[in-house]
Amino acid sequence: MTADALVCPACAREHPASERFCASCGMPLVYAERARGASGPSAEGDRWGLEQQERARKVKPQYTEGQLVKVVRAGSQVEAEFIQGLLLEEGVPSLLRRSRGFDVPDFMAAGPRDVMVPESGVLAAREVLLQSELLSGEAAASEAVGAWRVMLWLLVGLAVLALIVLLHP
C-alpha cells in the first residue's frame, strides 16, 4: 500500500489516489496511511483515523454532487466549525473558506468564513440552518429579492433613457 492509497471507511476497500468516493458504497475515501498513523500504529494516529472515519460515515452520498456553493457566512472560525458540525449531523458535507477581503495573511486566523456545500446539498443545508435559526428566512429570501431589485432598477433606467430619447428634439 502506497502513502497515497485511499480506503473506504465503511467497507475498507483500497482505491487509487485519483478517486474521491468508494465505487461500491459511495462513501468519501480517507487516506490509509493517515488512518494508521504516519510511522505505524500510534494512539494519536489511530484516534485521528477513527475521527475521520466517523465523520466520513455521516456524509450522505446524495449530498456530494456538484460544484461548491456558499450557503452562509460565519463571523469566525469557531462559528463556522459549529455550523459545519450541524451540517455533518444531517449528512451534508461542507468546506470552510476565508471570506473575500479576509483572505490576506493578516487575517489567516481571524475573520469571517464562508461555509460551502456541494450543489446537491444546498437545500438540505439551508433547511438545517433555518431550523437552527442560523439563517433567517429573510436572509434566505434576500438573495431572490436582491435580483428583483436589480431588475427593477434596470427597467427604471431604461424607461428614463427612453423618455429622454423621445423628448429630445
Digit-coded pLDDT (tens) for 124-158: 888 888 888 766 544 445 555 566 777 888 899 99
73 and 17 in one domain?
A: no
DSSP annotation string for 53-73: HHHHHH--GGGS-S-EEEEEE
Cβ-based burial of 94 (10 A; exposed 0-12, middle 13-18, buried ≥19): buried
Digit-coded pLDDT (tens) for 39-58: 444 455 566 567 777 777 78
Digit-coded pLDDT (tens) for 88-138: 888 899 888 887 777 667 666 678 888 999 998 889 888 888 888 766 544
pTM over 0.85: no
129 and 68 in one domain?
A: yes
Q: Please choose, from the candidates 45, 31, 27, 30, the residue with its C-alpha nearest in 3D space to the C-alpha of residue 2.
A: 31
Residue 44, C-alpha cell as written in the block: 494519536
* Boundaries of domain holding 131: 63-135
- State residue 158's pLDDT score: 92
Q: Whole-angstrom Cα distance, residue 142 to residue 122?
A: 16
96 and 118 in one domain?
A: yes
Digit-coded pLDDT (tens) for 16-30: 878 878 888 777 888
Mean predicted confidence (pLDDT) in 55-63: 81
